[in-house]
Amino acid sequence: MSEIEPARLPEPPYYAVIFTSVRTNGDNGYAQRAEEMLRLAAKQPGFPGGYGGGQPPCREGGVDSTRGAEGLGITVSYWRDEESIKAWRAQADHTRARAAGRAHWYASYELHVARVERSYGFTR
């Protein structure tokens, strides 16, 4: 499975938004909207690496995202700075998608905004 490539990231410090969630039952329009949000996020200033256009789960550009069979999803998006995160939070389509998330898609979620102070990687 080593064809999955890691997110391409700048040198620290940068920011990570950790979003952990449990879905409601059924799709309810989630999959299409999730892909739209990734495409839109990749157009925002301060979102490193772009986005290749795959469906989540994915691991590319400025996002690592996966969901296990038990139902827990973790998406980590990476941003250049806090201002970039705030601008994405204010983006109108994203604001509507978050409202739909609370109304339809998520049983629960938590979001952590964090400043990455160091990072390293390993590739076989």
Which residues contact its own copies (rule: CB under 8 A)? Answer: 1-2, 4, 6-7, 9, 15-16, 18, 20, 22-25, 57, 59, 64-74, 76, 102, 106-124
CA distance linking residue 42 with residue 50, whole number of Å: 5
Cβ 121 to its own copies, closest distance in Å? 4
CA distance linking residue 15 with residue 1, whole number of Å: 28
Closest CA to 111 of 70, 82, 77: 77
Cβ 106 to its own copies, closest distance in Å? 7
Cβ 69 to its own copies, closest distance in Å? 7
